[in-house]
Amino acid sequence: MPFLELTLRCRESEQSRYENALDDVGALAVTMLDADADTPNEHAILEPGVGETPLWDTLLLSALFADDADPLLLLAALEAFDPGLDWSRAGFRKVEDQDWERAWMDQYAPLRFGRRTWIVPWNHALPAEADQPHAAVVRLDPGLAFGSGTHPTTSLCLQWLDALSESGQLQDKTLLDFGCGSGILALAALKLGAARAVGVDNDPQALTATGDNAERNGVAERIDVFLPEDEPAATYPIVVANILASALDALAETLASRVAPGGRIALSGILKGQEDELLPRYGAWFSSLSVAQEGDWVRIDGLRKHV
């Protein structure tokens, strides 16, 4: 069965308003792509930070409607729902039916981080190198909402976890994944030898996604998830926070209090240059702070002081 597809470009700040309007008038599906990327998965949406939902600056929204929907009537309904938005930029076309989610996911391939860590979509067979006893494999369907390892911020954290595992510092430890999103970092830690993981996120959908992914990866009994206000007071030997620099700055004292003396932290979601303010901020609690860079993004990691 064919569909009527509506597409338009919008600013990140307007995304939720456009999506609400499209849902209200009966869109069967709404997807978001980076309007400036050469390929659909070139720039993945960041895993949502605590208190924020980071998106690209400019989005390409695509909405599917029933084939018999009238474009003019849809535009009139959208204008009535939110007259403050510019619906004149919308374009329409007829598209043939297909498995949209699967077609989109088929663009993703297995990814390796460090020596042992693999993120493999469910629709892909395990690569020969990942089909080995030493490999730490997380099966994860790519998702626009919560990230799938393709973004440098997540990649930097996965590489850090892999290195911790190689040095034996992750084995049998409990990890806090603050701003867990899809749960990708917590799941990778568990596959790499951590005993338990705790995921914290402000979005209930992220907690659901983390729980579902943990169940599918066979580690559900080793992970707990909480909203920030429900997180039990505790300290952890390993903490990772892949959120945004502004949130890392605002939450510095909170995150520092979660790391046990001598424990390790990794902070990501930081654009190159933003580390200049965060390094002295976290230097109050952490020593041996170092910076790793991938593309335009950096990761800060360090060791919790004993005093």
Q: Is the CA virtual torsion 152, 158, 159, 164 positive or negative?
A: positive
Render each residue's pLDDT in the chain as its tens digit; 307 residues. Answer: 678 889 888 887 787 788 889 988 988 888 776 555 444 343 333 333 444 444 445 778 888 888 888 888 898 899 889 888 888 778 888 877 655 555 555 556 788 999 999 998 887 889 999 999 999 999 986 543 334 556 788 889 999 999 999 999 999 999 999 999 889 999 999 999 999 999 999 888 789 889 999 999 999 999 999 999 999 989 999 999 998 888 899 999 999 999 999 999 999 988 889 999 999 999 999 999 999 998 888 999 999 998 7
pLDDT for 91? 86
All domains of the chain in start order, with CATH = 3-104 (3.30.70.120), 153-304 (3.40.50.150)
List CB contacts of 259: < 8 A, sequence separation 6 or more: 235, 236, 237, 239, 265, 285, 286, 304
Q: Report residue 108 CA to chain centroid gap.
A: 15
- Are 85 and 36 in contact by the 8 Å Cβ rule? The answer is no
Half-sphere exposure of 176 (CA within 13 A, CB side): 28
Neighbours of 122 (CB within 10 A): 10
Report DSSP letters for 171-194, one per residue: TT-EEEEET-TTSHHHHHHHHTT-
3-state secondary structure of 303: strand
pLDDT for 51? 42
Tell whether 68 is in a known binding site.
no
In this structure, are strands 196-200 and 223-226 parallel, antiparallel, or unpaired?
parallel
Q: Is the full-model pTM beyond 0.95?
A: no
Tell whether 242 is in a known binding site.
yes
Tokens of 80: 């009535």
SS (H, E, C) 1-28: CCEEEEEEEEEHHHHHHHHHHHHHCCCC
Half-sphere exposure of 186 (CA within 13 A, CB side): 36
Neighbours of 172 (CB within 10 A): 10
List CB contacts of 82: < 8 A, sequence separation 6 or more: 17, 18, 20, 21
Tell whether 199 is in a known binding site.
no
Amino acid letter for position 76:
A
Cα–Cα distances (Å) from 178 to 126, 201, 226, 247, in that order, read 29, 7, 10, 11
List CB contacts of 85: < 8 A, sequence separation 6 or more: 10, 14, 17, 18, 21, 78
> Strand 236-242's sheet: what is its strand order?
223-226, 196-200, 174-178, 236-242, 259-271, 297-304, 286-294
Using alpha carbons, select from 287, 272, 282, 266 the residue that is nearest to residue 163. Answer: 266
Using alpha carbons, select from 50, 287, 272, 86 the residue that is nearest to residue 176. Answer: 50
Tell whether 235 is in a known binding site.
no
User: What are residue 29's DSSP bridge partners?
Assistant: 64
